[in-house]
Amino acid sequence: MGRVGADKQQPWANRVFPGRFLVVSLENAGNRVTQEKMLDSFADWKEREAMAESMIPLVGKLYRDHNVVTSLFGRPIINRSVIDIIKAHRFVRQVEQNGLSVRETLPVLEQLATLKLGPSRIDIGKLAMKFKSQDQFAELNDFLRDELKEVLGGEQPESESGQDVVLYGFGRIGRLMARILIERAGGGAGLNLRAIVVRNGGAENDLAKRTSLLRRDSVHGSFRGTLSIDEENQCIIANGVRIQVIYSNSPDSIDYTQYGINNAIVVDNTGKWRDEEGLGLHLKCPGVSRVVLTAPGKGEMKNIVYGVNHDLISTDDRIVSAASCTTNAITPILKALLDKYGIENGHVETVHAYTNDQNLIDNYHKGDRRGRAAALNMVVTETGAAKAVAKAIPELKGKLTGNAIRVPTPNVSLAILNLNLKSSTTVDELNDYLRECSLYSDLQKQIDYVKSLEVVSSDFVGSRYAGIVDAEATIVDGDRCVLYVWYDNEFGYSCQVNRILQHMAGVMYPVFPHS
């Protein structure tokens, strides 16, 4: 017993137990540090969240009162949530060496709200980054006044009526066009959606069903806002915008002036008429001045890819085509490559989401292979996109071939550009050039850029760009390159159509900062 008691007092006991207490003490200290970091991170998040929250009314006021559309490195922040705004800031890390915080953009937005500005498109992210690169003693207010002097003190448009727009057809593109036009209604001096034209299906609840399709979308989610129906007057009221629903089975049988619609641009989404003779039927209707086709046009009709050849549209052009979604996706990137490297020739392979012209299950179809079930098969088919590029870029006539594979996904497609260039390059050089084009060139609204090993097709649902370069997939071997270009073949294309409408209506406002 004595020895046991003595053992309890042996020196090893004094070495072990204090050590154990030391370990516990260090662990506690580590936990305190971790907890402090957690609290710091959460406090930082709450601060940024509060700042983003305070940006929302400023963004809205600039838009409603001054027709100033604000964005952040090309990402729109109008009608966006707090989380959307914070994520837009996070995106900057992908495309610039340095990140961007709401702490840097909020002061820019606050200063803009104090200025009397004319209609414009202002990227507060790029302005904030540009200001950071200035002399450290520069004043933000002075910097902004100098950058925006072209629209400083500018007057608002005299007309409060804006440009009347009619959507002829209310399918996938028609409904997405409606969403874009309603979202950008602003003060009413831009593009105003006045009516949609659909075939008379004869159903008693036809108006309710069409409104429901606008409200809920399996791919693009719920409509941002409120919708109601005026059955008596056959109208849909979307976020306060009154849209007349007109039933007609032919494009030349409507008197739009009876609905108070004048000088309207009709957007034909049906694809049924694709030549000037057929589309010209719209022009026989009172109240119509011009027509835009949302499909490749036939004959000598101008096929327009906004950003590349929209300057070809003259005031005398009564009918133009917005080309196809694939043509819009690849043409801006091909134009950028042509300008810097030159293009000898190449092949375009499109991995395309299935569309409504395919059969859901095996059944007769006049097109080759398209009769087979769209959701169960990859279907090799043709595409005219490669040849259509030449209508926007004549230098590429006869230099590109193309084919398509329809795959079992409902939206977002991928164009693979296999090109022989006229000069050699490297992966890093080519990617850096395309990144620069996406940020600061005249094609910044058409070309987007992503550098991630984890992105997949669904990540690009809702993209407003014509095409998105997947930098991690780029292959270069001397003067040969392979580029992978994602595109939302529904929404991204609809945004391109909307830009054509803005151009034709004369509501394309100056963009700041200048590239």
Packing angle between helix 102-114 and helix 11-66, nearest 10 degrees?
Answer: 20
Torsion of CA 90, 96, 98, 100, to 10 degrees: -40
The three-state secondary structure class of 319 is strand
Q: How far apart are CA 147 and CA 42, in angstroms?
A: 36
Q: How far apart are the first and last CA of the chain?
A: 90
331 contacts: CB under 8 Å, gap ≥ 6: 305, 308, 323, 389, 392, 393, 466
Tokens of 348: 């375009």
Contact between 374 and 440 under an 8 Å Cβ cutoff? The reply is no
Contact between 513 and 126 under an 8 Å Cβ cutoff? The reply is yes
Nearest to 256 by CA among 166, 178, 182: 166
Residue 437 falls in the annotated catalytic set: no
Q: How far apart are CA 487 and CA 514, in angstroms?
A: 26
Catalytic residue among 285, 325, 437, 481: 325
Classify burial at 427, counting beta carbons within 10 Å of its beta carbon; exposed 0-12, middle 13-18, buried 19 or more: middle
Nearest to 448 by CA among 120, 130, 74, 176: 74
Q: Which residues are catalytic?
A: 325
